[in-house]
């Protein structure tokens, strides 16, 4: 047997990457932050179907993996801003490539349907 799992450490890094960002919410969070820092409440507005608990968990995990930075301002009511880090900025072109790949590969899927989320958004 010439081809062995042992010869494929790349597969391991892939598994790790998927464990890190390959879940239901993290790609979308990273994508939204790619356009600038956002507050907790604004993230919650932009992704109306995520619960505060889950959003909190995801952000904490992203912070642990150094993919998101958290800045709390000592005000009342509190203000907390989340932003991308150097590590996650390196990920952006890859996320973009994944996005384009899906668009090209599955032209029959209407990705615009996400717009339903718009109904739940308020104007600023």
Partner DNA sequence: ATTTGTGGTAACCTCAGAGTAACTATGTCT
Partner DNA sequence: AGACATAGTTACTCTGAGGTTACCACAAAT
Structure tokens that stand for 44 in this block:
């919650």
Is 14 a binding residue for DNA by CB under 7 A? The answer is: no
| Minimum CB distance to DNA, residue 40 (Å) | 4
Cα–Cα distance, 82 to 37 (Å, whole number) = 5
| Minimum CB distance to its own copies, residue 68 (Å) | 13
Residue labelled with tokens 């930075």: 69
Cα–Cα distance, 98 to 58 (Å, whole number) = 21
Residues of this chain, 32-51, that bind DNA according to CB under 7 A: 39-42, 49-51
Binding partner of residue 13 among its own copies, DNA, none, CB cut-off 5 to 8 Å per kind:
its own copies
Residues of this chain, 63-122, that bind its own copies according to CB under 8 A: 87, 90-91, 93-106, 109, 111-115, 117-118, 121-122
Binding partner of residue 12 among its own copies, DNA, none, CB cut-off 5 to 8 Å per kind:
its own copies
Distances (CA, A) of 107 to 99, 104, 113: 12, 6, 14
Cα–Cα distance, 67 to 30 (Å, whole number) = 8
């Amino acid at each position: 047997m010439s081809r062995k799992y042992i010869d494929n450490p790349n597969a391991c890094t892939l598994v790790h990457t998927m464990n890190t960002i390959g879940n239901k919410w993290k790609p979308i969070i990273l994508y939204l932050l790619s356009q600038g820092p956002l507050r907790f409440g604004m993230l919650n507005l932009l992704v109306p179907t995520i619960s505060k608990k889950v959003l909190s968990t995801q952000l904490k995990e992203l912070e642990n993996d150094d993919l998101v930075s958290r800045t709390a301002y000592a005000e009342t009511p509190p203000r907390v801003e989340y932003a991308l880090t150097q590590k996650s900025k390196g990920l952006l072109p890859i996320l973009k490539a994944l996005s384009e790949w899906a668009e090209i590969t599955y032209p029959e899927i209407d990705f615009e349907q996400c717009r339903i989320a718009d109904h739940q958004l308020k104007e600023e």
